Chains A and B, each alone.
Chain A
Amino acid sequence: MKSPALRRRFVEQIKVMFGAEPQKPALIEERAIKVHTLKRMTNKAELAAAKEAHRARAKNHKWRNIRWATLLFVNLLFVVSYHFDIQLLEGALTASRFAGFHLIDLNSALQVMLAHKHVITNLLIGTGTVLVLWLLLGGRTFCSWVCPYHLLAEWAEKIHLWLVQKKLVADTPIDRRWRTVSWAIFALLALATGYTVYESISPTGIVSRALIYGGSILALLWVLALLVFEIFFVRRAWCRYACPIGLTYGVVGIASPVRIKYTLEGCFHEGDCRKVCLVPHVLDTVIKGRAVDTEVPIGPDCTRCGLCVDTCPTGSLKFDVKGLSKLM
């Protein structure tokens, strides 16, 4: 059963996804307050020693490796299906057929429907299938587990963070509300112009098609420009602040059973998870005194990439499937 505080947080996190800044919780469950109070009484020296020990541990990349393998597998399956004519996964990420069954990217489908104002059966079937898939797996799971631009951006992010560490560049955040505005602009543009304007700059579509059908030079240069911008100016600018696909999938995944779950008790509040996170605003709950309950599911803007799960030294962040633990 969801506690009142969690229900409140659920709504808060939807607002946060649309660009609101996470606030200090107004309502915290009694049992969580108890844990927070106990933590304040912990011996500071012991705490520091334990943190030191955590830092010294070898880095764990389990989920990252599984995820990268999945992402590469899915994207290579497209390439292999075409070039060796296996006909298993035909098409590109915008629309495809898996063993003959239509799959259509939700944002692309939305753009086409808005531009064309006409929906045919195949489009409906493909969209419905994908909708159910990501309703179950968690909307933005698409971003980190499937989107090929995400992987490129992850590598660019590594370079960016290295440059930041060397103090060669500074990290300059942008207003997250821009993504909601951009989503609305592109939806309106599709509606008004009758053309899927967003698709012409969508790095997801461009990279996916480039992998399968070969490069279209100018479009790839645009993607490269985005990556350069992310390396030198704004960390993960596209995925964090601009991509309407991310918001579409975020909305789809609002009530998804697959998510990351935070357990307050063992957490040392070191904040390493927030440093690796693409969307640290969903992890505000790990800040000391912020957790509204002893167990807090992470909000819909989370891409379920698992970097925080890998990083967490205490196992306080874990993948969780709602209801599954009760069933088993």
Chain B
Amino acid sequence: MNDNDAPEKVGAGETAPAESPTADLSGASPTPGGKPPMSKERARQARRRFLRTILLGGGVFGAALSGYLPVAYAQKKRLRPPGALDEKDFLASCIKCGQCVQVCPVNAIKLADLSDGFGVGTPHIDAREQACDFSCDAVQCILACPTGSLTYHKPPYMSVRPGAKLAEKPILLAKEKDPEPTLNLTERIGVARLTRPESCLAMQGKGFKGQARGPSFKGELRYMSVDRWRPIKVADHPYDVELCDLCVTACPIKGAISLETVFAPDGGQRKTPVVHEPCVGCGVCEMICPTEPASIEVIPGEGWRGTT
């Protein structure tokens, strides 16, 4: 403890502790200097209070930083809702209110926990569990966002990730015949890629019969053949196809994916899903893929680099 903290006026009390009551008395009387000097006891209390304050302050500050560090070191990129700004701008502008969560008809958008390490309370989509199938028709989450974290039109001074710009406004298959068939999107949130071609059923020439993701899968999808407006559970819509093309038939965007013929090294012909430029990165193909883990996945934040 540093005795210099105590005002000089109570110096007498320090040299002779036995006399401290009198020192306190003299200390309490007003001095010409202005403030009455502190007694030794009060000085000690003030010092302790100062230490406690530093302790609490440091604790709060540390906790706040621990909330930031995972963001700074986030290794795994997450799929943000459609129209999301680039990750840095998105994290800066998201106010964490969850209004995007509330308007989503298929509950694709989830809010992050502290432990997820990419910004507590920020929205993201786990496409494998529930992808955005544009059941809302108008990208309602963008409309709901109060801060412009999700936006139809990026401010001009913000840079566009390479390959993020869509060549044209994507046509939503569900409203292809409507007067206004396009989605008001100018950038993609990611790109689908056949990350595990070896496990792809089409590549192996296999068909698929049954529930795409098993009976307990809770994800929903809008089937045009069932009801153009209402998504139903994937589990309630079993498939029976000669050659698996679920990712192609489920895709909500026109011309984003197709089955193409490729030549295998052994000279034989095979079918493979090929992703095209209109892909917006919604992740429906990843959700519907019946292999475990999914053969086709959406790469968050990825740009279009040409057909590979």
Interface residues of A (CB under 8 A from B): 82, 90-97, 102, 104-105, 108-109, 112, 115-118, 120, 122-123, 126, 172-175, 177-178, 181-182, 185-186, 189, 193-201, 205-206, 209, 212-213, 216-219, 222, 229, 234, 237, 241-242
* Extra contacts besides A91-B99, A120-B148, A217-B113 (13): CB < 8 Å: A97-B99, A108-B96, A122-B147, A177-B53, A178-B57, A181-B57, A182-B61, A185-B61, A189-B64, A195-B91, A198-B64, A201-B63, A216-B112
Name the distance in Å between B105's Cβ and chain A's nearest Cβ.
Answer: 10
Contact (Cβ within 8 A) B64 A95: no
Chain A residues whose C-beta falls within 8 Å of the C-beta of B99 in the assembled complex: 90-91, 95-97
Partner of B95, one of A82, A95, A217: A95
Q: Which of A126, A199, A200, A234 has the most CB of B within 10 A?
A: A200
Name the distance in Å between B166's Cβ and chain A's nearest Cβ.
Answer: 22
- For the complex, what is the distance from the CA of A23 to the CA of B48, rounded to whole Å? 22
Contact (Cβ within 8 A) B91 A194: yes
Chain A residues whose C-beta falls within 8 Å of the C-beta of B146 in the assembled complex: 91, 95, 97, 102, 104, 122-123, 126
Chain A residues whose C-beta falls within 8 Å of the C-beta of B119 in the assembled complex: 195, 200
- For the complex, what is the distance from the CA of A204 to the CA of B71, rounded to whole Å? 21
For chain B residues 143-163, which have a beta carbon within 8 Å of chain A?
A: 144-148, 151, 155
Q: Does B89 count as interface, using CB distance less than 8 angstroms?
A: yes
Contact (Cβ within 8 A) B111 A96: no
Name the distance in Å between A181's Cβ and chain B's nearest Cβ.
Answer: 7
Partner of B57, one of A92, A173, A182: A182
- For the complex, what is the distance from the CA of A206 to the CA of B114, rounded to whole Å? 10
Q: Does B204 count as interface, using CB distance less than 8 angstroms?
A: no
Q: Does B98 count as interface, using CB distance less than 8 angstroms?
A: yes
Closest residue on chain B to residue A193 by CB atoms: B68
- For the complex, what is the distance from the CA of A213 to the CA of B104, rounded to whole Å? 13
Contact (Cβ within 8 A) A200 B120: yes
The interface size of chain B toward A, counting residues with CB under 8 Å, comes to: 45
Name the distance in Å between B62's Cβ and chain A's nearest Cβ.
Answer: 10
Q: Which of B48, B65, B95 has the most CB of A within 10 A?
A: B95
Listed A/B pairs (19) with beta-carbon separation below 8 Å: A91-B98, A92-B97, A94-B96, A95-B99, A95-B146, A96-B97, A102-B146, A116-B92, A123-B146, A123-B147, A182-B57, A196-B91, A197-B65, A197-B67, A199-B95, A206-B120, A216-B111, A237-B56, A241-B53
Chain B residues whose C-beta falls within 8 Å of the C-beta of A92 in the assembled complex: 96-98
Q: Does B115 count as interface, using CB distance less than 8 angstroms?
A: yes
Q: Does B263 count as interface, using CB distance less than 8 angstroms?
A: no
Name the distance in Å between A153's Cβ and chain B's nearest Cβ.
Answer: 15
Q: Does B88 count as interface, using CB distance less than 8 angstroms?
A: yes
- For the complex, what is the distance from the CA of A175 to the CA of B56, rounded to whole Å? 10
Chain A residues whose C-beta falls within 8 Å of the C-beta of B148 in the assembled complex: 118, 120, 122-123
Closest residue on chain A to residue B49 by CB atoms: A175
Chain A residues whose C-beta falls within 8 Å of the C-beta of B91 in the assembled complex: 115, 194-196
Name the distance in Å between B204's Cβ and chain A's nearest Cβ.
Answer: 40
Contact (Cβ within 8 A) A209 B121: yes
A213-B111, A218-B113, A219-B113 known; A174 vs B49 contact (CB < 8 Å): yes
- For the complex, what is the distance from the CA of A95 to the CA of B146, rounded to whole Å? 7
- For the complex, what is the distance from the CA of A194 to the CA of B85, rounded to whole Å? 14
Contact (Cβ within 8 A) B92 A216: no
- For the complex, what is the distance from the CA of A175 to the CA of B54, rounded to whole Å? 9
- For the complex, what is the distance from the CA of A146 to the CA of B68, rounded to whole Å? 27
Name the distance in Å between A40's Cβ and chain B's nearest Cβ.
Answer: 21
Contact (Cβ within 8 A) A217 B60: no
Chain B residues whose C-beta falls within 8 Å of the C-beta of A90 in the assembled complex: 99, 102-103, 144
Q: Does B50 count as interface, using CB distance less than 8 angstroms?
A: yes
Q: Does B280 count as interface, using CB distance less than 8 angstroms?
A: no
Q: Does B196 count as interface, using CB distance less than 8 angstroms?
A: no
- For the complex, what is the distance from the CA of A175 to the CA of B50, rounded to whole Å? 6
Name the distance in Å between A272's Cβ and chain B's nearest Cβ.
Answer: 25
Name the distance in Å between B69's Cβ and chain A's nearest Cβ.
Answer: 10
Closest residue on chain B to residue A219 by CB atoms: B114
Per-position binary interface string of chain B over residues 68-86, scored 1 when its CB falls under 8 Å from any chain A CB and 0 otherwise: 1001100000000000000
A122-B146, A216-B121 known; A116 vs B93 contact (CB < 8 Å): yes
Q: Does B257 count as interface, using CB distance less than 8 angstroms?
A: no
Q: Which of A175, A196, A209 has the most CB of B within 10 A?
A: A196
Chain B residues whose C-beta falls within 8 Å of the C-beta of A182 in the assembled complex: 57, 60-61
Name the distance in Å between B158's Cβ and chain A's nearest Cβ.
Answer: 8
Per-position binary interface string of chain B over residues 191-221, scored 1 when its CB falls under 8 Å from any chain A CB and 0 otherwise: 0000000000000000000000000000000
Q: Does B101 count as interface, using CB distance less than 8 angstroms?
A: yes
Chain A residues whose C-beta falls within 8 Å of the C-beta of B93 in the assembled complex: 112, 115-116, 118
Contact (Cβ within 8 A) B98 A209: yes
- For the complex, what is the distance from the CA of A67 to the CA of B91, rounded to whole Å? 35
Q: Does B52 count as interface, using CB distance less than 8 angstroms?
A: yes
Closest residue on chain B to residue A174 by CB atoms: B53
Chain A residues whose C-beta falls within 8 Å of the C-beta of B89 in the assembled complex: 116
A116-B89, A122-B148, A195-B119 known; A95 vs B97 contact (CB < 8 Å): yes
- For the complex, what is the distance from the CA of A235 to the CA of B53, rounded to whole Å? 13
A195-B91, A201-B64 known; A234 vs B52 contact (CB < 8 Å): yes
Contact (Cβ within 8 A) A200 B114: yes
For chain B residues 114-135, which have a beta carbon within 8 Å of chain A?
A: 114-115, 119-121
- For the complex, what is the distance from the CA of A208 to the CA of B138, rounded to whole Å? 28
